[in-house]
Structure 1
């Protein structure tokens, strides 16, 4: 995902985060400076004002951990910030950064199996390096919203909501040639 001349990236997750932060700022009648202060966890910790402003301008590729920090400070769910007003099932509001990474890993691994792709092929389909793919499939690391949006796009799903939909049940695939379930690879 490449930025335009204004430094913005066409990513619905960035759009939703910026929209939500602005709506909350207006609702709370805060200046940007005071809004940014809400995200500080202790002196010298938390989001810097510059990070907050770049996020508001959609110029910052924030990570799930940053979104979780914002959600905690605003007393909302991560899902609420990411979906930008879309309706969600109540269970989606309970998801943490860690459980969202796990859902993403499950989706990626299920799709790889469904499409019968090798890991490097799935990485190519998603437009990520093999190292990044390994992190994604293992639910490891701190995933950015640009990566989530790219995965959603590559899989033909709405980047803003695909993580918060009920999981599709994979069709039974039987056993592989070693007599194991394909999920054990």
Structure 2
């Protein structure tokens, strides 16, 4: 006697396709995307174009040296603003600004009521702009104890006075004499 085929063999188990649970993934994106946008805004604000170039400002404005000789269109000086935050025992540094121009005496701008005198520095920069209308380069050299905010305000003040190339000069090395016994 022949047995009919088993019913177990003909049964096909059909199940609906498995739906992925997207809730944890959506929660992750809801956290990551605002965080990335916030980081982008912070990095845009924190970026400042500092020009770390070296050399003579007159050479740069004239287009650089040509065939080993320096070509200058006009007598354009190199002007440096030194930012100091403390006074040393020798009296060579003081809190404030020192503006150095070639063939001129150093111009000092001290503190007013314990704050940097940006109004007087602005007047000095306007006077420099009137003397040298073609001047585009200016150097800013902060000492190592100068706060970042002071450096940024000085750079912004230079930009407001139409100095398009602001160069950052590394702080100068200071040596201290020690007493020999």
Query: RCO (CA 8 Å, sep 6+): is it higher in 1 or 2?
Result: 1
Larger helix fraction of residues: 1
Structure showing greater radius of gyration is 2
| TM-score in terms of structure 2 length | 0.25
Larger strand fraction of residues: 2
